[in-house]
Amino acid sequence: MSIATLTHAAAAVATQEATDGDSRRNINREYNKDKG
């Protein structure tokens, strides 16, 4: 596997993790709004 391919895969994983993090923050915000 080329370095470019590995870099691209790592970037895709980082992007996915960032997206998951945003989703969790949004869910927590909604949850806290309902609670408070």
2-34 pLDDT per residue, tens: 888 989 988 888 888 888 989 999 989 988 888
Residue 36 has pLDDT above 80, yes or no: no
According to the model, what pLDDT value does residue 21 have? Answer: 86
Give the whole-angstrom CA distance, residue 8 versus residue 18: 15
According to the model, what pLDDT value does residue 7 have? Answer: 92
More confident residue, 32 or 36: 32
Assessment of whether the complete model's pTM goes beyond 0.85: no
> Which residue type is seen at 19?
T
Give the whole-angstrom CA distance, residue 9 versus residue 27: 27
